[in-house]
Amino acid sequence: MIDHIENEYAKFWIEKDILHFVYKNGISIDQSVAMKVVEDRLLLQQGKTLSILCDMRGVKKINKSARNYLALEGSILIKAVALLVNNPLSSTISGFYIKTSNPAIITQVFTDEKEALKFLNNQVDI
Domain-located, residue 12: yes
Domain-located, residue 125: no
Q: How many domains are contained in the chain?
A: 1
State the sign of the Cα–Cα–Cα–Cα dihedral 96, 6, 17, 116.
negative
Residue-wise pLDDT for 78-120, tens only, equals 999 999 998 776 677 677 667 766 677 888 999 999 999 999 9
Domain-located, residue 46: yes
What span, in angstroms and rounded, lies between the C-alpha atoms of 21 and 53?
6
pTM of the model: 0.87
Structural domain including 52 reads: 4-120
**Which pLDDT value is given to residue 124?**
62
Domain-located, residue 126: no
Domain-located, residue 64: yes
CATH of the domain at 114: 3.30.750.24
Domain-located, residue 65: yes
Residue-wise pLDDT for 41-86, tens only, equals 999 999 999 999 999 889 888 898 998 898 888 999 999 999 999 8
SS (H, E, C) 17-77: CEEEEEECCCEEECHHHHHHHHHHHHHHHCCCCEEEEEECCCEEEECHHHHHHHHCHHHCC
List all residues 6 or more positions away from 125 whose beta carbon is below 8 Å from its beta carbon: none
